[in-house]
């Protein structure tokens, strides 16, 4: 939440100069990757929540890393506006449904997967991938690098992608 800002109605009526002046005196409470504090509004921009983003036809997320390890294979999840998902763990295909709510996304379990044997690093990645997407998952967006991270409910698994 921000203080010393304009309401939406006031913002609509304000000139660009008035908007910029208010942004300089606005302070916002933030929670970024577990750190809570206040930041000047001039350093912030409006962002789109994941549930808004997946309304766009063809929204897809591609895995970059699992924890601190680079992804192997081509893992991705495509979201559809009706809440369906499909994609790949890098080895097996997946599909299912999701519900979004603010910074939480719930993958309806179980996700349907093909069952091919995944050798070595692909098998390890697939296990972490599916564990991270079990049930209610938190997500965060880092606008600096344009990446979305999905974090398992217990905090043990993180999937970062774009």
- Chain centroid to CA 151: 9
Q: What is the C-alpha to C-alpha distance for residues 17 and 132, in angstroms, rounded to an integer?
A: 45
pLDDT per residue as tens digits for the range 67-87: 889 999 899 999 888 888 999
> How much of the chain, in percent, has pLDDT values that exceed 70?
89
Question: What per-residue confidence (pLDDT) applies to 50?
Answer: 62
Say if residue 120's pLDDT is above 90: yes
DSSP 150-162: EEETTSS-EEEE-
Question: What per-residue confidence (pLDDT) applies to 153?
Answer: 78
Question: What per-residue confidence (pLDDT) applies to 45?
Answer: 62
This prediction's pTM? 0.67
Q: What is the C-alpha to C-alpha distance for residues 63 and 77, in angstroms, rounded to an integer?
A: 8
> How much of the chain, in percent, has pLDDT values that exceed 90?
30
In the three-class reduction of DSSP (H, G, I as helix; E, B as strand; rest coil), residue 149 is classed as strand
pLDDT per residue as tens digits for the range 43-69: 776 555 565 666 566 678 999 999 889
Question: What per-residue confidence (pLDDT) applies to 70?
Answer: 94
pLDDT per residue as tens digits for the range 12-42: 788 888 887 887 787 888 877 778 888 877 7
Question: What per-residue confidence (pLDDT) applies to 88?
Answer: 95
């Amino acid at each position: 939440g921000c203080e010393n800002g304009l309401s939406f109605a006031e913002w609509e009526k304000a000139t660009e100069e008035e908007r910029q002046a208010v942004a300089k005196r606005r302070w916002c409470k933030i929670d970024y990757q577990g750190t809570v504090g206040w930041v000047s509004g001039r350093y912030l921009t409006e962002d789109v929540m994941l549930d808004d983003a997946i309304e766009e036809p063809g929204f897809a997320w591609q895995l970059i890393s699992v924890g601190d390890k680079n992804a192997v294979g081509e893992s991705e999840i495509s979201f559809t506006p009706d809440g369906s998902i499909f994609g790949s763990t890098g080895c097996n295909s997946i599909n299912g449904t999701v519900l979004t709510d603010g910074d939480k996304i719930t993958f309806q379990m179980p996700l349907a997967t093909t069952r091919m044997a995944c050798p070595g690093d692909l098998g390890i990645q697939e296990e972490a991938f599916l564990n991270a997407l079990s049930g209610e998952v938190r997500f965060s967006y880092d606008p600096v690098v344009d990446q979305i991270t999905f974090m398992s409910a217990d905090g043990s698994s993180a999937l970062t992608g774009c």
